[in-house]
Amino acid sequence: MVVVITGASKGIGRAIAEKFASAGAILCICARSAEQLLLAAAEITEKHQQSKVYTMAADLGNKAEALAFGKFILESAGRVDVLVNNAGSFLPGSVHAEDDGVLEKMINTNLYSAYHLTRVLLPGMMKASSGHIFNMCSIASLQAYSNGGSYSISKFALAGFSKNLREEMKPHNIKVTAVYPGAVYTDSWSGSGVDPNRIMAAADVAELVFTISKLSPQACVEELVLRPQLGDL
């Protein structure tokens, strides 16, 4: 099985990579930081020696780099069974007061990255008439909230992309799952004072993505919503 995971050097992406590697999957992963990416790959392969990991440092918010990563995947692994569009970033703000250019940055990173990479990989998946695409949306895709601003807008757009893509891919036997996690304890929460036990672990998301990818061809989890047991922060 060939699994592509973007934004895989840490957080949810890293946890998903670890989970698939434990099952012997071939991984193609990317992150913006080459140093962090290579460290993650080394740690994954040391722990899961049955897994092979291809890496390419890329900022998928840049269309040219997203297309280059797609080409790298096809040249390295030849096919894609599971694509996890996880790359993203968060800038808090409000529509009326956030800095000029924030919307463009959020759209580039949180929407266009998935759009452009998916378009490179779809022809091969459609030819094989199989595959599963996971788009890492957010609770912010479902409900507007204070200080969400352009981040929430971009995540609403990613949810819309997921819905449209799912309908298009049904005749090609390609599944599309939109994942809507609430607060997950990643580096962004470090030093925030939030108790790690109050919010979810990245491994929770990884476990569910892996399990959903193993369902029978005739079953598709279209949307997956996860929240901390005590609710959103």
The answer to whether residue 145 is catalytic is: no
99 close to 21: Cβ distance less than 8 angstroms: no
List 112, 151, 180, 185, catalytic entry: 151
CB contact set of 172 (below 8 Å; sequence gap of 6+): 125, 126, 129
Could you give the CA distance from residue 6 to residue 126 in angstroms, rounded to a whole number?
21
Report in angstroms the alpha-carbon separations of 131 from 110, 125, 137. 22, 6, 19
The β-bridge partners of 185 are 201
11 close to 87: Cβ distance less than 8 angstroms: no
Q: Please calculate the CA angle 81-85-88 and round it to the nearest 5 degrees.
A: 165
Residues comprising the chain, all counted: 233
What tokens appear for 1 in the block?
Answer: 């099985």
Could you give the CA distance from residue 231 to residue 58 in angstroms, rounded to a whole number?
34
178 close to 162: Cβ distance less than 8 angstroms: yes
- Which helix H or strand E contains 179, and what residues bound it? strand 175-181
Catalytic residues: 151
